Amino acid sequence: MRKKILLTICLMFITFLNTYAQTEVIKKISIEGVRIIEKSAVLNKLDTKINEVLDEDKISDDLKRIYKMGFFSDVYVEKVYGDEGLHLKFIVKEKPYIREIRFKGNKEFSEDDLKTQISTKRFSFMDEKKLKDDVEKIIKQYKEKGYYFVEVKYSIDTYKDRPGDIVVTFDINEGKKVRIDKIVFKGLNKFPASKLKKVMETKESWLFSWITGSGTYKEDVMKDDYERIKEFYSNEGYLEAKVINHNVYLNKKKDGLIVEIEVYEGEKYFVVDVGISGDAKEYEKELLPLLKLKKNEVYKVSNIRDDISFLVEYMGNKGYAYANTEPLFDVDEKNHTVRIDYHVTKGKLVQINRIIIEGNTKTRDNVIRRELNIIEGDLYNASSLKKSRIKLNRLGYFEDLNFVPQRIEYEKPESEDQDLMDVLIRVKERPTGFLTFGVGYSSVDQFMGSLQVSQNNLFGKGQKLSAKLQIGSKTQEYDVSFLEPWLFGKPVSGGIDIFKVKRKYTDYTKESTGFGLRSGYRISDDWSVTGGYRFEIADVTDVKVTASQIIKDQIGKRTTSSIYGNLIRDTRNDAFYPTDGSSFTFYLEFAGGPLGGDNDYVKSVVDYAKYFLLPWQHTISIHGQYGIVESYGSKKLPIYERFFLGGMYTLRGFESRSIGPKDPKTGDVLGGDRELFGNIEYIFPLIKEAGVRGVLFFDFGNAYNSNILPPELRYSVGAGIRWYSPMGPLRLEWGKNLNPKRDEKSSKWEFSIGTIF
């Protein structure tokens, strides 16, 4: 009985203690252990408050929140009972605080270069995961420069006499810089290694690797090369081809890398049947001849991609914006054949609801809208959308341009088989004002400088205003021009030009003053016509006694009154750096006769350029120009209307206006009544991130009297750099004269640079 009473008393005491604990009130909260972090910052993370009942779950959550701040390596709580009641102490241990970051052994990169790559920063708390990641970032940076065997470690030391503060040192052993000496393949039977090397971005080192950066091994690029090699084989019919593995090791001299790639080629597959099913089945007879993939031809994955895009666009042109094409394959591995069926799902018709323009802080909405081939309320049309983007690009006002279709969610009757779409046009404007200057030297002009102020989008209205000043020891030129591209809200342009030019040639001086009126009409998206009237008063003076008689005959003032016209076709995809499309211009000018003036002649020029996009954003451009000028009646053709070649924009490597027929007695260049010249350029990214492009070129041409004589063509080759720099367009080119004559230089440098505003 006495035991039962004692047990009951114990149970009652335990219950009393539990009840007391559950209703225990917090009288004080403090934060201990902080050095750098403010106590208030930690207190703000607590849900636990003074004068509240103790809640273990809430305290546990508080500890988690404090730890997640990322500043502490340890966090815990102590309960202290005193006269005032319960005192909670949240005790933290701060992570080491980084006072300094150092680098040892770095020669290729400066400390500043390395610091921009790492996540660890001064005056922050140490994070071991970040430090390990930073080691990998530094290693990657070195490997991209050819230091394939670089080693990086980090160490932690106490900062002077401040406990808890540290210095982080990255110790770098750069190792020897090596580039790819050779790329070798295993398993090749169908193609030579040279063909596979061409499709890869990973390249062997060569003479100019220090400029182009080729010859560097990068693991992520190599993985992309797997896909490039696979695609190459797929486009040759080898459906099963793939890269099995690759190894990287030092060559015998230990001064270069060998990249060994093992390839499985498989067998060539042929297409035995091509069909179209689904919602485009009714158009099958019309569409099959337009597909790139043909029956009984080699299987090519690139043709399939092109066909999918074509079918999606075809349905998109009928208003089905969300059409989808899925290629269905039936592969016969025994006979190495493929049957392909393009299954098309058209979805619902889509109507354009709103056209929204964003990002145009300067260019007015109507300037953008008038270039669009899409209208609010019309059915969606994929080709019109694509063409609108190209037209806006050609304006040259935008450095970035995106069309973003936005599907609209709205309630509609179940029977309505149509959707609505907004088209968001998001633009990033580029400066369209130019303060352009050039400096040069030639045997004719000696030192010469030019200054041109132009605005190609005046007040955001698309108007063009330009003023040019060119001054040299032998040239003075002033001209002002203005163009309104859309008169009265129609695709009709109108402009005016005023000019005054004085130029001292070797044997004479010509001073001309005049004006011009011009207009144009856009026939279609690609075709336009322009024309105008030009009036010029030319005065030839200071003719040397030793000059050619033809030049002496030009002494005095003569007026030219002429009309001219241009027929233009332009399908280029960009105004500044086209990579696709072409431009064609036919120019015809008629002077004198019923128009009055002292000069009677007819001049015509045909100009054509074509651009081809190659892999990796490389471009080939082919440009040619042919011109004829002839006088009529009894008047002779003035020398200043004849054709002269040479210089940056015709034949590089030759002095300006130095190419053309000469007087056999005096050696004066008299120009020709015929001209023919062409340029072939290979343009490639030199520094992609900065937009620097390299160019290799081949120029040819000459000016003639009466007959074009191919054996008399002049030739040059050369290289250059083009950069749309922060200061504006920069062009630096060197031309090599391939067949210099006795009085000609063998090469010539030319450059120009501009400032944008």
pLDDT of residue 143: 85
pLDDT of residue 727: 58
Which amino acid is it at 611? Y
pLDDT of residue 719: 95
pLDDT of residue 243: 94
Question: What is the rounded CA–CA span in Å between residue 129 and residue 337?
Answer: 52
Question: What is the rounded CA–CA span in Å between residue 465 and residue 86?
Answer: 81
State the CB neighbour count (10 A cutoff) for residue 461.
15
Q: Is the separation of the CB atoms in 456 and 397 below 8 Å? A: yes
Q: Which has the closest alpha carbon to 479: 543, 534, 559?
A: 534
pTM exceeding 0.75: no
Give me the architecture of the 358-429 domain, per CATH.
Roll (3.10)
SS (H, E, C) 676-707: EEEEEEEEEEEEHHHCEEEEEEEEEEEEECCC
Consecutive H or E run containing 430: none
Question: What is the rounded CA–CA span in Å between residue 236 and residue 154?
Answer: 50
pLDDT of 646 above 70: yes
State the CB neighbour count (10 A cutoff) for residue 41.
13
| Residue 139 backbone dihedrals phi, psi, to 5 degrees | -60, -45
For 156-195, write each residue's pLDDT tens digit. Answer: 999 887 888 999 999 999 988 888 899 999 999 999 999 9
pLDDT of 406 above 80: yes
pLDDT of residue 437: 63
pLDDT band per the 50, 70, 90 thresholds, residue 235: very high
- pLDDT, averaged across the chain: 88
CATH 3.10.20.310 range(s) for the chain read: 21-94, 97-173, 185-264, 270-345, 358-429
Q: Is the separation of the CB atoms in 91 and 145 below 8 Å? A: no
H helical segments located in 553-623: none
Question: What is the rounded CA–CA span in Å between residue 392 and residue 586?
Answer: 24
pLDDT band per the 50, 70, 90 thresholds, residue 443: very low
Question: What is the rounded CA–CA span in Å between residue 600 and residue 595?
Answer: 9
Q: Is the separation of the CB atoms in 516 and 494 below 8 Å? A: no
pLDDT band per the 50, 70, 90 thresholds, residue 551: confident
What would the mean pLDDT of 487-496 be, rounded to a whole number? 90
Tokens representing residue 204 in the block: 């062997």
For 68-122, write each residue's pLDDT tens digit. Answer: 998 998 999 999 998 888 999 999 999 999 999 999 999 999 999 999 989 999 9
Tokens representing residue 55 in the block: 């809640």
Q: Exposed, middle or buried by CB within 10 Å (0-12, 13-18, 19+), for 616?
A: exposed
Instruction: Supply the angle between the helices 382-395 and 301-316 in degrees, to the nearest 10.
Output: 100
pLDDT of 13 above 50: no
Range 185-264 has CATH code 3.40.640.10: no
Q: Is the separation of the CB atoms in 223 and 204 below 8 Å? A: no
pLDDT of 384 above 50: yes
Q: Exposed, middle or buried by CB within 10 Å (0-12, 13-18, 19+), for 489?
A: exposed
Question: What is the rounded CA–CA span in Å between residue 623 and residue 582?
Answer: 9
pLDDT of residue 313: 93
| Residue 492 backbone dihedrals phi, psi, to 5 degrees | -120, 125
Q: Is 7 left (phi over 0), alpha (psi -120 to 50) or beta?
A: alpha
Q: Is the separation of the CB atoms in 505 and 475 below 8 Å? A: no
Most confident option among 7-16, 156-165, 170-179, 429-438: 170-179
Q: Which has the closest alpha carbon to 24: 83, 81, 89?
A: 81
Higher pLDDT, 40 or 212: 40
Q: Which residues contact 651 (CB under 8 A, 6 or more apart)?
A: 645, 659, 677, 699, 700, 701, 714, 716, 735
User: In this structure, which CATH number among 3.90.1150.10, 2.40.160.50, 2.40.10.220, 2.60.260.20 belongs to the domain 505-641?
Assistant: 2.40.160.50
Range 21-94 has CATH code 3.10.20.310: yes
Instruction: Supply the angle between the helices 219-234 and 301-316 in degrees, to the nearest 10.
Output: 80
| Residue 232 backbone dihedrals phi, psi, to 5 degrees | -55, -50
pLDDT band per the 50, 70, 90 thresholds, residue 416: low
pLDDT band per the 50, 70, 90 thresholds, residue 312: very high
DSSP 8-state class, residue 164: T
Give me the architecture of the 97-173 domain, per CATH.
Roll (3.10)
Residue carrying structure tokens 């669009």:
372
What would the mean pLDDT of 443-456 be, rounded to a whole number? 67
Of 205-214, 322-331, 617-626, 642-651, which gets the smallest average pLDDT?
205-214
User: In this structure, which CATH number among 3.40.50.1100, 1.10.10.10, 3.10.20.310, 3.30.565.10 belongs to the domain 270-345?
Assistant: 3.10.20.310
Q: Which residues contact 253 (CB under 8 A, 6 or more apart)?
A: none
